[in-house]
Amino acid sequence: MISCPTIEKDVIRRHYDVSTLFYRLLWGRHIHHGYWEQDESPAIAQDQLTDRLVAAANISAGQKVVDIGCGMGGSSRRLAKKYGCEVTGVTLSPFQRRWATLASARYGLRRQTRFLRADAEQVQFDPEQFDVVWSVECTEHLFDKPAFIQRAAEWLKPGGTMAICAWLAGPELNESQRQQVFDVCEGFFCPSLATLDEYQQWMREAGLTVERADDWTQQVDRTWEICRDRVKRFAIHRAAKWIDRGQIIFLDRFQTILDAYRSGAMQYGCFVAKKAVD
């Protein structure tokens, strides 16, 4: 695991309160990578990443899902509308919670979705409340990842599924690669990035059976080419200086994360794990 000890939780919350507008302008309704199979548009690629994780986790209609790190609610809405799930979204950002709630109402999904403003490392749910714990690109921001996975496993019903997509540190890094990962952690407000093997270990320690641990790096890294180019094209730095200068380091690290993926310093992982049936 590569750690960045200077990151603070209040800074993460503020980042998403402020940067949601940047994400929406630069990328779209999802705050996660796209998944490319050919030459799809970014909007289609974003939906495909959600759909790929749904397929990997074998999610079905009527299941109760908790979406940890739901952002603007894009994946929650897709899970509700396309797949017929009942979704509880959790975000650290009050701004994102309001956005997600209003967007779900606009699309007629109020009965199938609800959104909470809560810290994923502190939020309380009843044991065996959900069929699926879903988290796409949130665990990077957690300070105690093993503890979260242990708690989240308790929320699952017997036979339930944990489905996670996460930014990862690559294996056996040299010093240059370790610095690349550290720079990504610093720029994207991640307390740490763990490895593919570490996530699997934590899931097993939580009593889950790991069914999939896939490397999707080559299918998703185009995300940062597009975002980098859009920052330049739309002069987003100028807006950042007026809105919040603290976002400039975030914008400046888009090339860094792309380089980290392509050097092997980072990977993008998809994990599916099952809770045993009693």
CA atoms lying within 13 Å on the CB side of residue 265? 20
CB burial of residue 277 (10 Å; 0-12, 13-18, 19+): exposed
- Quickly count: other Cβ atoms within 10 Å of residue 251's Cβ: 20
Helix or strand run (H / E) with residue 160:
strand 156-169
Averaged over successive runs of 10 residues, the pLDDT of the chain (278 residues) comes to 91 76 66 90 93 97 97 94 97 92 94 96 97 97 97 98 97 95 92 97 98 96 86 57 51 84 96 94
pLDDT for 245: 47
Phi, psi dihedral angles at 90 (to 5 degrees): -125, 125
Structure tokens at 166: 């996460």
Strand partners, 266: 169
Alpha carbons 260 and 191: distance in angstroms, whole number: 17
What are the extents of the domains in the chain?
2-275
Alpha carbons 203 and 199: distance in angstroms, whole number: 6
Residue pair 163/53 in contact (Cβ under 8 Å)? The answer is yes
Amino acid, res. 210: V
Beta pairing, strands 64-68 & 86-91: parallel
Residue pair 259/75 in contact (Cβ under 8 Å)? The answer is no
State the greatest distance between any 2 C-alpha atoms of the chain, in Å, as a whole number: 57
Decide which of 3.40.50.150, 3.30.1240.10, 3.40.640.10, 3.40.50.2020 is the CATH code for 2-275. Answer: 3.40.50.150
Alpha carbons 214 and 269: distance in angstroms, whole number: 6
Tell me the pTM. 0.91
Residue pair 33/220 in contact (Cβ under 8 Å)? The answer is yes
Alpha carbons 228 and 251: distance in angstroms, whole number: 8
pLDDT for 12: 85
pLDDT for 173: 96
Chain-centre distance for alpha carbon 33: 8
